[in-house]
Structures are given as C-alpha cells and as structure tokens.
Amino acid sequence: MRRLDLARSALDPRRTPGRLPARLGAAAFAAALCAGCGARPFAEGSSRELVVITSLPPDSPEVLLLKAIVEREVVRIDHETAYVVRLARPEDGRAYRSTNVLLVGTGSLNRIPPDAGSLRDILERAGRPYAFIGDLWLRGQAAGILWAASRASWLTELARIQNRFFLELDRATFAAVRERVLSLPRDRVAERFLADSLGYTLQVPRGYAVHIDRRARAALLLEAGPPARLLRIRAVTPSDERADTGLGATRDALARLFRPDERTLDFTDPTLVPDEMAGAVRRLHGRWEDARVSAAGPFRYYEIARGSRRYEVDLSVFAPGKPKLPYLRELSAIAESLTPR
C-alpha cells in the first residue's frame, strides 16, 4: 500500500431563530445577509474562541475566575487550552456574530439586553445561573448566558458548578461545530464507496480523500491540508473483543494500517468531557509522531458502539503552529455520523 507522507502532503501548496442585535448596524447586517445569499449566514470565528460580552473589567474577580475555568489545558505539549476568552462590550456589534458568545452580568434580569430575550427566557426556566441556546443570532452559533443577582452570588455559584458549566459550554460548542460541518457540501461518490466497501455510511465533506483497506475492513479519510486531518475507522471483530490489548497498542495498529511509520507515544492528554464522542465505550487522548519525518500531533482514539457493532475511531491532526482542537472537533462531528447499514 502506498505510504501517506503526512508532512509532505500537509505542506503541499496544492429551534427558533433569534434576531441579530441592532448594534450590528445596517451595513454589517446587509453584508451578513449577502454572504449567506439570502439565507441566515453562519457565525464567525474559531470554535476555540469564547467571546464574553460584559461590562466587567478584565481584571475583575469574575473574569479571572471564568478564564481559569474555561481555559483548561487540552493539548499539553503545545500548552493549548480548550478556549481562549476574548472580552467585548455589550455595544460591540461584531461580538454577537462570533461562534461562541457568552453574556455575563449581574443584577435584575431586566438588565439583560432585549436582543438576548431568548437567553433571558431560557435562564428563567433553567433553575441555575447559566443557560445555552443554539443558533440564536446566526447559524452554527453557541450562545450562552451566565447571570446572577449579585457579584458575590455570581462568584459563589460559578465556583460551585464550574465543572458542570464547562461541560455544558463544551456541549453547546460541539453542537455548533456539528451543524457547521454537516452542512458542508458532501462527496456522495466517496460515501457510496465507503458504504459498498465496508457496510456503513458516513458523511464525507468534499475535499477528503478516502482510502480503503478491505482486508482489515478499515478506512482513512484524509484532508491533506495544511493543516492535515486524518480520520481512521476500523470495525471491531469478535477476536478483537477477546484480545486483552491496551488502547495504545490498538490505536497504534489502526494508525499503521495507512501510515506504517507512525507511532503512538506514551503520552496522554486530559479528557475534559467524558461523553465527547457519542457511543464511546473506551477512549484515549494522546500524541503521535512519525518515525521517518519531522511530523507529530495530537490524536483522539475511541472505541464506539453503534447498536450491536463496535468500531475503532482515530482522529489525528498535523497543524504546526496552529491550534489543534478546532480540527479535532470537526473530525469528531464527521465520525459521529457513522451509521451501520
């Protein structure tokens, strides 16, 4: 089988919709509509950026606590955090066009801007100081609110529920990523090739090359980039289920089906969200490297259940100098569409 040179290929040059806030202004609103050709456009920016709309100063205890909670390290060797907080004032119209938007404040709920009325309504029903809603102002958007009656109670409540808040934020973020990825133009020929060869369907965005190893009943989806993104899938057989093999070794075997010089390092990254991959029964976050060329990056490996069947799924990224998590999230969205025929 032809070896996939990742380093070379990655560097080869070849619910109810809400209203856009009035603060966007007529020109920006018109531009957004034009960009969508008459349809509501997608939100802007990376899934890793969390735009916090607030009147609180950057050095306030509230902002510092929030940053400590959401800017958790997710790719250790690169010191990459799950989110990067960017503060914006309520009058900053462009902030409302971001992929992840969090409205933060204290006091009466009447102080919540009218354009965020949907957030106020869902917060009143939530029974907790935060709530999230998808597609509030734009498609593919995770909008949230974190609000309390006073600054003292805001700090106390967030400290108490910080892990649950992070989990709900990440779920909302991934839902927005999923909507964006699954709306991309699809390669129907590649999808039929996968279904006919391996007996399952998968949404394949255009631009991904599909490689099949029929003997191993495995597939590789490769977007050569840069950045390079790899999604590898293999059906788990009864003999695999009986074998007492560690996750690192099973992930290594799957990776080497398509890239024989790739190896799984004895290095793990934290799992911040336990149910990040639908149907996952086992998981491993870590780092891979190529034994022949200077290439390395993070991976996310899962064994997932789809009815009575199980599959190995490996997500890998090669993106030197760039955040890796947004691309891993996109690969996760594609992988979750796997459905046995």
- Whether residue 327 contacts residue 229, with contact meaning beta carbons closer than 8 Å, is answered with yes
Q: pLDDT per residue over 219-245, tens digit each?
A: 999 999 889 999 999 999 876 665 567
For the cut 70, the answer to whether the pLDDT of residue 22 exceeds it is no
pLDDT value, residue 114: 82
pTM confidence score: 0.86
Split at pLDDT 50, 70, 90, the class of 21 is low
pLDDT value, residue 276: 83
Query: Vertex 72, ends 69 and 78: CA angle to 5°?
Result: 160
For the cut 50, the answer to whether the pLDDT of residue 9 exceeds it is no
Long-range contacts at 57-64 (CB < 8 A, ≥ 24 apart): 58/87, 61/151, 61/155, 62/104, 62/151, 62/154, 62/155, 62/158, 63/87, 63/104
**Could you give the CA distance from residue 144 to residue 104 in angstroms, rounded to a whole number?**
9
For the cut 90, the answer to whether the pLDDT of residue 284 exceeds it is yes
Alpha-helical runs (H) found in 187-258? 188-198, 238-242, 247-256
For residue 105 the two structure tokens come to 């404040």
**Could you give the CA distance from residue 319 to residue 328 in angstroms, rounded to a whole number?**
11
Look-up of token digits 């050709």: 37
All CATH 2.60.120 domain ranges in the chain, comma separated: 186-340
CATH for 186-340 (2.60.120, 3.40.50, 3.30.70, 1.10.357): 2.60.120
Query: Residues in the chain, how many?
Result: 341
For the cut 80, the answer to whether the pLDDT of residue 10 exceeds it is no
Split at pLDDT 50, 70, 90, the class of 216 is very high
**Could you give the CA distance from residue 133 to residue 174 in angstroms, rounded to a whole number?**
12
Q: pLDDT per residue over 152-166, tens digit each?
A: 999 999 999 999 999
Q: pLDDT per residue over 267-280, tens digit each?
A: 889 888 877 888 89
Split at pLDDT 50, 70, 90, the class of 6 is low
Q: pLDDT per residue over 287-336, tens digit each?
A: 999 999 889 999 999 999 998 899 999 999 999 999 999 999 999 999 99
pLDDT value, residue 13: 27
Query: Vertex 136, ends 90 and 71: CA angle to 5°?
Result: 65
- Whether residue 294 contacts residue 263, with contact meaning beta carbons closer than 8 Å, is answered with no
Say how many CA atoms lie within 13 Å of 199 toward its Cβ: 10
**Cis, peptide link before residue 227, omega less than 30° from 0:** yes
Q: pLDDT per residue over 193-214, tens digit each?
A: 999 999 999 999 999 999 999 9
Q: State the amino acid at position 153 in one-letter form.
A: S
Split at pLDDT 50, 70, 90, the class of 35 is very low
Look-up of token digits 């398509």: 258
Query: Vertex 319, ends 318 and 324: CA angle to 5°?
Result: 95
What DSSP line would sit under 163-204, residue for residue? HHHHHHHHHHHHHHHHHHHHTS-B-HHHHHHHHHHHSEE---
Identify the CA nearest to 306 among candidates 273, 338, 333. 338
**Could you give the CA distance from residue 267 to residue 262 in angstroms, rounded to a whole number?**
14
